[in-house]
Amino acid sequence: MNIFFTSTYISGNKRNWRTPSRMYAEKNDSAVLAVDLRGHGHTALNDSFRNHTHFNSVDVCSQDIYNLFTHLYDSSIVTEDTEISLVAHSFGGKVALKYVEYILSKQSSGIYIPKHVWIVDSIPGAHNESLSARGNLREANIPPVHSNPVNVVNTLERVIMALHQCPEIFPDRNWIVKELTEKYHININIALWLATSLTEIPADGDKAQGKGKQSRFMFNIEQITQLYLNYCQLDMFPFLDRYTDTVRGIIDTSTKSNPKYSNIHILQAGKNKSWENSMMHGEDTSTKNSTYISRLSDLISSSSSTHPSISSSLVHHHRMDHVDHWVHSEDSKGFVELVSKHSI
């Protein structure tokens, strides 16, 4: 069984995974479960999640995944013998890494330990962000397009600010796409992506005149903003360092696997230039002048030289040169082929 859970870019929802999930299930004769993280998709419409506006972080999302595994096991959907892979994109990638850290700290049983964890174009390091300094995002000035470099973080911040300023309820899909593109200068493809997270609600007015429905986004923009800021602050490279250190000498080198540890696959989108940005180093001066991709390369090469079996069995770096951040939608077939090939 493979569990695909997603927080794809901003406003991601499980429907974004429909095509690759179906392709993977057919290719591997496997069950696929797509999950909306808190603040996203149908989970955001659930009052038990929607009302928790003060408890939104990558760490809390990882505990949500732990609770999901508990439910699946208690419901006999998974057993001790079920092989599970987690596939997580963008924000979800850090949630997946945090989940692995969480289950190791709890010394959890086998049902909680995925055999493979795919981190799809999610940079493990911390990122600079500017939203915290902008005050009330409903009133903040959105910078002109030409002032922002073309990278995922800056594009995402423009989207978050626009969503704070859009009306909560609006006529329909066409209206919000036009509003986002013409008023806020959001790229048409991103606007259409956002529109996949719409839900219809009853509207006041004469239904006979076609005014019986209006639309709103399923996701909770306040929760999304909290999650995004926490995502930017969180650096998971130290965990990856500790992870490789922890398993040194434990792996069964004859099989190059260990049921107590997950294989972590970090998939880089070749056209996403954010990987080439300089890292935030804070108090860790060893990362000064390093880029995210050089930090990842150093991690892989260090693990390989110290204990060759680790790089070949637990930490992997993959790259798809021809795609940008939306890996699984830009080349669903290539993505599924890659995951299938290395998740056996």
Token pair for 295: 């930090």
Average pLDDT over residues 20-42: 83
309 band by pLDDT with thresholds 50, 70 and 90: very low
Residue 119: enclosing H or E segment and its boundaries?
strand 116-120
Q: How many residues does the chain have?
A: 344
DSSP for 171-197, please give it. Answer: S-HHHHHHIIIIIS---HHHHHHHGGG
Average pLDDT over residues 74-87: 87
Give me the phi and psi of 109, to 5 degrees please.
-75, 175
**pTM (2 d.p.):** 0.84
202 band by pLDDT with thresholds 50, 70 and 90: confident
> For position 187, what pLDDT does the model report?
84
8/84: higher pLDDT = 84
Instruction: State which amino acid sits at residue 164.
Output: H
Contact by Cβ (8 Å): 178, 194: no
Report pLDDT digits (tens) over 253-289.
Answer: 444 455 578 999 999 999 999 999 888 765 455 556 6
Query: Per-residue pLDDT for 219 more than 50?
Result: yes
Question: How many alpha carbons lie under 13 Å from residue 73 in its C-beta half-sphere?
Answer: 17
> For position 255, what pLDDT does the model report?
47
Report pLDDT digits (tens) over 154-184.
Answer: 678 888 999 999 999 999 999 999 999 999 8
> For position 120, what pLDDT does the model report?
94
- Own/partner contacts of 336-339, CB < 8 Å, gap of 24 or more, are 336/20, 336/23, 336/24, 336/27, 338/267, 339/24, 339/85, 339/87, 339/118, 339/265
